[in-house]
Structure 1
Amino acid sequence: MAIDVPASRKTRALFAYLLLADRPQRREHLCDLLWDEGPDDPRGALRWSLSKLRPVVDHGRRRLIADREAVAIDREGIVVDLQRAHHALDAEPSVANDLLAALVALREPLLAGLDMPRHERFAIWLAAERAAAERLRRSLLHRFVVSIALSPEDRLPWAREWLEADPFNADAALQLQETLQQLGRQDDAKVVKRSFADAVTEAGLPPPLAGTREPPISALPSHDMLQRQKIQFCKARDGVRLAYACVGDGPPLVKAANWLNHLELDWDAPIWAPLFQELARDHMFVRYDERGNGMSEARVTDINFEAFVCDLEAVVDAAGIDRFPLLGLSQGCAVAIAYAVRHPERVSHLILWGGYAAGWRIDATPDVVEEREAIITLVRQGWGRTDAAYRQVVTATFMPSATAEELDWFNIFQRQTVNAENAARYLEVFADIDVRAILKDVQAPTLVMHARGDRRIPLATGGELAAEIPGAEFVTLDSDNHLLLGREPASLAFVAHVRQFLSTPVLLG
């Protein structure tokens, strides 16, 4: 039966979080999630919300289970739309009414009306859950259009909705074309075919092979994907504890650390999580938190370029990987290059995005030095403040096309990932990077990609990097973001180019 939830938005948010988490949650964590600012007594505020939920949830049997340390909801007998949607997607054979009910339920934003941007941790969780729900909706549309016996008239609106939700999916475009042809609308089918081809070309994606259909997008919600991560720890050469994660099956793909990383928050990120999860579909994707940030040891003596390279060596050795493709993003490109030169027998392919061979201090004019040093001072003094103005100085050039919500998320993420002193130390190290002398020694086949409108690292810098690496391919993508947004076409193009590059056989000398 339907129930009326309490009017308090925080109480409703607490209810939703406990339902979707589906496991006991520590009271301390719930207080940090929803009462991180405001009440003098967060535990008292939590108790008040639980008292309002109990009569609504229990209904004759105890479903709200709480003790001094943790809180949980027993979901037996409670219908959760997301859970029902997953069951509909997994059912064999597909049940039309179940798929239809799930699609209707997911047309509205997940937990509409529960946005609370001032509560950082809840905002991050909600953004990730909404992204996962949208991926689930795309998979449901795929299953409904492809698996259910519908008349062309009934299939048409759903085929359109599928292509609108997944505009670069060749299977969705083909289904819409075929449906229009069955209805005798040949001209409309040609328009769809031409529009899809133009969109793919403009995004920089390789054209789909004739007659092929794409596999459905993974519909696992982000917290389930997180559970699939295997997070472990190892020691660097100087004893610093490093956190690394492996996720996915297949041949390995290693990502060098960059600004900034957090194994748990990265995987739920509304910005780059879709990109990471696509890479994990084809590979055992290995990434790690650099010393001084994320889940790795924060209080470290050495934060320098040599330590960064040694950290990558330690993670690869701990993961037991022999030969692998290596991915570098931004300043992680220089770390990846240095590793590839030191260990040519282990790097099968080198993939670089938004990279540079020399930091800004190399050959900088006095004006540039003054400006950049001022930014480092601002970071050191104001990084930890709840006002994001100081971090925004760094963020603005990373993702100029980001929405206000995405920028807010990234500002929060940066503060949660690294402290002020380490953030400033990172910027000092990045300024002095110089791997120009070893570019000629790279032996691995190399793909260099760069955003055409990158405002952080100019396109010309990426071109110079590619020109100095023997035999490197250079690909530009239509974006002005230094950090790709998972929702933008260039992100899909990035993954497509990586897949195409890694599928090319490597001739061993």
Structure 2
Amino acid sequence: MPRLSLLGPFSIERDGPVVLRNKKAQALVAYLAMAPGVVHARERLATLLWPDSSEEAARQSLRQCVSALRRELADLPLSVDHDLLGFEAGRIATDVDEFKAALIDPSLSNLRRAAALYRGDLLEGLNARSDLFDEWLLGERTRLRSAAISALHALLRELQGAGAREEAIAVALRLLAIDPLQEDVDRVLMRLYFEQGQTALALRQYKRCEAILRQELNVEPDQNTKALYRELLRHRTRPRAVDEPATLSQPGRAFDKPLRQRINICLAPDGVRIAYALAGTGPPLVKAANWLNHLEFDFESPVWRHWIEAFTHDHTFVRYDERGTGLSDWDVFDISFDAFVRDLETVVDAAGLERFPLLGLSQGCAISIAYAVKHPERVSHLVLYGGYARGWAHQDDPAELARRNALSTLILEGWGQENPVFRQIFTSLFIPDANPEQTRWFNDLQRITTSPQNAHRLSRIFGDIDVRALLKDVNVPTLVLHARNDARVPFTQGQELAAGINGARFVPLESGNHVLLSTEPAWPVFLREVKAFLTSIK
């Protein structure tokens, strides 16, 4: 008996695959096979498949198509008379019929069978060049897709109940492939990843959910999804015993934290959404964005949490995610140094700040310098840590230039991989003295915070930074700090910054970390110097 596969691309099997290349013939066979035992008027079939031809020409095309089918597929059970055409009941099998039969008794085995049969939309890729046929096809596709989604949801529930996480993850991914706007499935997938100990993948799934909702519906994830995301972030900070099961609360549960932040969205002049956060109370302190930030992930991170706690003690600490990263828009046309400066302008205006100290880290130092030169009346103090005036593309060391170019190129291949080996290179440059937990967080931060394409673009732009000509125009009190053994930005770069800014004070720190860690002796020294600087000048 011939068997037709209609879910997904059209195919026929009869003791092996049979090639039927003519698209009109495929459309005719599929249409008849969807209702075996039913005969159709030739006039109706001719109009359905050749609507733009005259009545006689359409009937002639249908006759030729049927004759070709009977020559190529002699055992095709066509029931033919002068005016009617159809397939004989019980003499042809289709995956559509098998799919529907499996759904009559939705046991676990039948649900698995239905999932395997649904290879894709009905007649995927078929173009019969007929609006009438396409209208029929759309209706049938919609009904079958809806049935498949319901079956996959039922299968997902069964697999979760049976503890079959790997299979459940595969089913959840299939559901999102069919319809990516199923936020409830995103939540299930986040929980499944977490239960497998893959919290980074769970957090990454939230970012994918957030991006598709913004792109397709211009909305944010709902409160249940956001609450789950925040809970996942909190679990990343708490080491778990080897035999302790991974558990999450039910959606909607409230959580209390001694330190809270308020996240807002503002629009840059080019329409890009920039996310910024305020935490703490007191006079403002603004931190320019650096490589890489994520307002929510940083808030729970053992790499950045102590920075936030320290600066919220006496200040309203203002942070934001750079365009192309974190909670800010990722799909951005203009990622450039000038755009970064405009984003800082946008954030401080949105926060309603008139005059404030400005903290720059890494490439955020150059952005802070450009802002301070452009708006000296608004910057009361300038604090620069681990910064540089000229990016790696302007260095005089050919070996270093070659190494940086190679790393930038490799970002495209290695950044998005599940294996953190490539990102570990960057982690080792930023925080070589990190403990395993801090290392794991920073590895995950990079992958969660931006895409490989944006990471590559950012790397190139940071390499092109050159604000040496602006240093002489900085007319605000400035404190420059730099780690002596910083492997990411050489110590001499910090010295160059301080030497170029009139009256700047330079403080060397005994550390090898580009991001100071809470456990190292340089951290309290850094805090003491910065807080003394901010209170000494009014």
Tell me the distance in 2 between the aligned counterparts of 1:269 and 1:492: 19
Whether 1:355 and 2:464 are equivalent positions in the alignment is no
AA in 1 matched with 2:420: A
1:135-187 superposed Cα distances (whole Å, 9 cap, x missing partner): xxxxxxxxxxxxxxxxxxxxxxxxxxxxxxxxxxxxxxxxxxxxxxxxxxxxx
Higher relative contact order (CA 8 A, sep 6+): 1
2:533 aligns with 501
Tell me the distance in 2 between the aligned counterparts of 1:332 and 1:396: 20
| CA deviation after TM superposition for structure 1 residue 321, in Å | 0.1
CA RMSD between the two structures: 2.9
AA in 2 matched with 1:415: R
**Per the alignment, do residues 290 and 502 of structure 1 end up closer, same or farther by CA in structure 2, a change over 3 Å counting?**
same
From 315, 324, 330, the counterpart of 2:347: 315
Q: TM-score, normalised by structure 1?
A: 0.58
| CA deviation after TM superposition for structure 1 residue 278, in Å | 1.1
Tell me the distance in 2 between the aligned counterparts of 1:389 and 1:269: 20
Whether 1:126 and 2:235 are equivalent positions in the alignment is yes
Whether 1:326 and 2:358 are equivalent positions in the alignment is yes
Tell me the distance in 2 between the aligned counterparts of 1:115 and 1:443: 54
Q: Tell me if structure 2 keeps the 8 A contact 1:246–1:284.
A: yes
AA in 2 matched with 1:450: H
1:14 aligns with none
Tell me the distance in 2 between the aligned counterparts of 1:117 and 1:499: 40
1:40 aligns with 167
Name structure 2 gaps, 5 residues minimum. 1-163, 173-183, 189-193, 204-231, 241-254
Q: Tell me if structure 2 keeps the 8 A contact 1:242–1:289.
A: yes
Tell me the distance in 1 between the aligned counterparts of 2:430 and 2:195: 25
Q: Tell me if structure 2 keeps the 8 A contact 1:124–1:409.
A: no
Q: Tell me if structure 1 keeps the 8 A contact 2:321–2:328.
A: yes
**Per the alignment, do residues 130 and 286 of structure 1 end up closer, same or farther by CA in structure 2, a change over 3 Å counting?**
farther
AA in 1 matched with 2:312: A
AA in 1 matched with 2:353: I
1:248 aligns with 280
Tell me the distance in 1 between the aligned counterparts of 2:265 and 2:347: 9
**Per the alignment, do residues 415 and 470 of structure 1 end up closer, same or farther by CA in structure 2, a change over 3 Å counting?**
same
SS of 2:326's equivalent? coil
Tell me the distance in 2 between the aligned counterparts of 1:338 and 1:435: 7
2:302 aligns with 270
**Per the alignment, do residues 365 and 224 of structure 1 end up closer, same or farther by CA in structure 2, a change over 3 Å counting?**
same
1:455 aligns with 487
Tell me the distance in 1 between the aligned counterparts of 2:520 and 2:356: 28
Tell me the distance in 2 between the aligned counterparts of 1:475 and 1:501: 11
Q: Where does 1:269-288 land on structure 2 (aligned, <5 Å)?
A: 269-288=301-320
Number of aligned pairs? 318
Tell me the distance in 1 between the aligned counterparts of 2:256 and 2:484: 35
| CA deviation after TM superposition for structure 1 residue 130, in Å | 6.2
From 318, 329, 334, the counterpart of 1:297: 329
**Per the alignment, do residues 351 and 239 of structure 1 end up closer, same or farther by CA in structure 2, a change over 3 Å counting?**
same
1:285-312 superposed Cα distances (whole Å, 9 cap, x missing partner): 0000000000000000011100100000
From 499, 504, 507, the counterpart of 1:472: 504
Whether 1:383 and 2:415 are equivalent positions in the alignment is yes
Tell me the distance in 2 between the aligned counterparts of 1:288 and 1:282: 19
Q: Where does 1:404-415 land on structure 2 (aligned, <5 Å)?
A: 404-415=436-447
1:39-67 superposed Cα distances (whole Å, 9 cap, x missing partner): 1114999xxxxxxxxxxxxxxxxxxxxx9
* % identity of equivalent residues: 52
| CA deviation after TM superposition for structure 1 residue 406, in Å | 1.6
| CA deviation after TM superposition for structure 1 residue 38, in Å | 5.6
Tell me the distance in 1 between the aligned counterparts of 2:195 and 2:522: 28
**Per the alignment, do residues 116 and 446 of structure 1 end up closer, same or farther by CA in structure 2, a change over 3 Å counting?**
farther
**Per the alignment, do residues 377 and 438 of structure 1 end up closer, same or farther by CA in structure 2, a change over 3 Å counting?**
same
1:190 aligns with none
Name structure 1 gaps, 5 residues minimum. 1-36, 46-66, 72-113, 132-222
| CA deviation after TM superposition for structure 1 residue 129, in Å | 4.1
Which one has the largest radius of gyration? 2
AA in 1 matched with 2:382: L
**Per the alignment, do residues 354 and 225 of structure 1 end up closer, same or farther by CA in structure 2, a change over 3 Å counting?**
farther
Tell me the distance in 1 between the aligned counterparts of 2:339 and 2:485: 31
Whether 1:420 and 2:529 are equivalent positions in the alignment is no
**Per the alignment, do residues 70 and 455 of structure 1 end up closer, same or farther by CA in structure 2, a change over 3 Å counting?**
closer
AA in 2 matched with 1:336: S
AA in 1 matched with 2:478: T
| CA deviation after TM superposition for structure 1 residue 237, in Å | 1.3
Whether 1:371 and 2:403 are equivalent positions in the alignment is yes
AA in 2 matched with 1:466: A
Q: Tell me if structure 1 keeps the 8 A contact 2:479–2:504.
A: yes
Tell me the distance in 2 between the aligned counterparts of 1:44 and 1:423: 31
SS of 1:264's equivalent? helix
Tell me the distance in 1 between the aligned counterparts of 2:319 and 2:199: 28
SS of 2:429's equivalent? helix
Q: Where does 1:439-450 land on structure 2 (aligned, <5 Å)?
A: 439-450=471-482
Q: TM-score, normalised by structure 2?
A: 0.55
From 372, 389, 396, the counterpart of 1:340: 372
Tell me the distance in 2 between the aligned counterparts of 1:392 and 1:130: 20
1:120-141 superposed Cα distances (whole Å, 9 cap, x missing partner): 359853342469xxxxxxxxxx
Tell me the distance in 2 between the aligned counterparts of 1:321 and 1:42: 46
1:492 aligns with 524
Q: Where does 1:198-209 land on structure 2 (aligned, <5 Å)?
A: none
| CA deviation after TM superposition for structure 1 residue 364, in Å | 3.4
Q: Tell me if structure 2 keeps the 8 A contact 1:271–1:487.
A: no
